[in-house]
Amino acid sequence: MLFALVLPAVLGAVGLAVEGGFALAQRQRMQAAADLAALDSAYCQLYPSKPLCVSAANFPGSGGSATRGMALALAQANGYSSTSVSIVTPYQSDPNRIAVTVAQPVSTSLLSIVGFNAFNLSGRAVGAVQSGVSSASLLALDPTKCGSMALSGNGTITAENGGIQVNSNCPTALTGTGNSSVDVVSSSINDVGGYSLSGNASFSPVPITGAPSLADPLGSLSPPDGTGLTNQGSFSCSSNTVTSINPGIYSSISASANCSVTMQPGVYVLKGGGLSISGGASVTGHGVFLYNAGSSFPSAGGSFGAVSLSGNGTFSLTPQTSGPYAGLLIFQSRDNASTLSVTGNGAVTGVQGTVYGALAPVSISGNGTMPAQFIVDSVSISGNGSLTVQYAANQVYGVSSTALVE
């Protein structure tokens, strides 16, 4: 009689030891599968054109997404069906993060005698694409300037997936006037100094004042020295011409009226005269890098020209995808304090990649979404437009990598 009473307890204890150990091993196996799926999914987020990722985009259930297809394929390779896998991307509104959960019940035998029929187990991991430089959409480097980041008029700016950093220690380092507004999505506004608002201006979230200053993340990047580049003289187009130009060293490049220019892939050095695109001119350049230097190039100094991208023509400027300047569209020499301006709807929507100028004040106005990053001396945003700066680690400068973050 006593034996019959204690038998369930004995079987339960044995079952917990045996089947609990098996369940722990299965839980570890699920976690390993989730880790691998999340990490390799992040890889496909960073390198969607890699052959393995192209194949993953065709995996059943992927919906054409390489990140989703990679997670499903790796889960299946580890013995888990698609019904056991859940994928969330963007994760927490961040398109550079992918959350993968592998969940599956593990049935019991001995423990079922005492009414415990299954362990509900899961493994969860979050993979991310991380930039090697800065995740700020807008970074104003000037350490003392008041109004280092200034917004005015009726304009609104939305920073997606990357924050705002103002390095100035001035009490009014960040200013908003009129009906201007700033909305930073999934990140923060970090301000070394203080900020001021007037009129109906607003900042969201509330800026973090007294934030630590960030060192210039591109401060050690060497500029091009012109080796192997052809001297091209100056280029100017002001008619209804359709033409193309090749990489090299230019004293200046300008296009206006309805000129249509294709910039062939490569490195363009602007030697003293800068770059000016205006009117209805259209400019296309994929895989290009522009270095705005002085007239004494490759030495420092000389006279300097500005970079001015304006008008409502068709703009499509994208950076190189490999090499020392991959992801970097414009690099203004560190002794060039000329203003870099991007105005007009066409120019705003056509700029992609990192724009860098340690001494360059930047002026932005217009409507549209700009998949870009600005690391500059200071930033001024004005006008009546609605501008979105959309940071993505795989589209800007930096040695991006993948990592498990949760």
Residues 240 and 376 in one domain: yes
Residue at which a domain ends, from 65, 99, 130: 130
Domain match, 99 and 221 both: no
Residues 358 and 234 in one domain: yes
Q: What residue numbers bound the domain in which 64 lies?
A: 7-130
> pLDDT at position 377, please?
96
In a domain, 387, yes or no: yes
pLDDT digits (tens, 9 = 90+) for 90-149: 788 677 788 888 887 876 665 566 555 666 777 888 887 765 555 678 899 999 999 999
Query: Any idea what DSSP says for residue 230?
Result: P
**What is the pLDDT, as a whole number, of residue 350?**
74
Cα–Cα nearest to 179, from 203, 195, 162: 203
- In terms of domains, do 203 and 243 share one? yes
Residue 189 in any domain: the answer is yes
For residues 236 and 367, state if they share a domain: yes
Does 317 share its domain with 182?
Answer: yes
Of the residues 73, 108, 130, the one at which a domain ends: 130
What is the domain count for the chain? 2
Query: Would you say residue 142 lies in a domain?
Result: yes
Taking the C-alpha atoms of residue 80 and residue 104, their distance in angstroms, rounded to an integer, is 8
Q: Is 1 within a domain?
A: no
Report the pLDDT value the prediction gives residue 271, as an integer from 0 to 100. 97
Confidence label for 3 from pLDDT (cuts 50, 70 and 90): very low
Question: Domain check: are 37 and 141 in the same one?
Answer: no
Per-residue pLDDT tens over the stretch 292-335: 999 999 999 999 999 988 877 777 889 998 888 988 999 999 99
Give pLDDT tens digits for 192-237.
999 999 999 999 989 999 988 888 888 888 999 999 999 999 999 9
- Say if residue 196 is in the same domain as residue 240: yes
* Average pLDDT estimate for 352-372: 85
Give tens-digit pLDDT for 13-23.
Answer: 554 555 666 66
The pTM assigned to this predicted structure is: 0.70
Picking from 6-10, 88-92, 229-233, 244-248, which range would have the lowest pLDDT averaged per residue? 6-10
Do 115 and 140 share a domain, yes or no? no
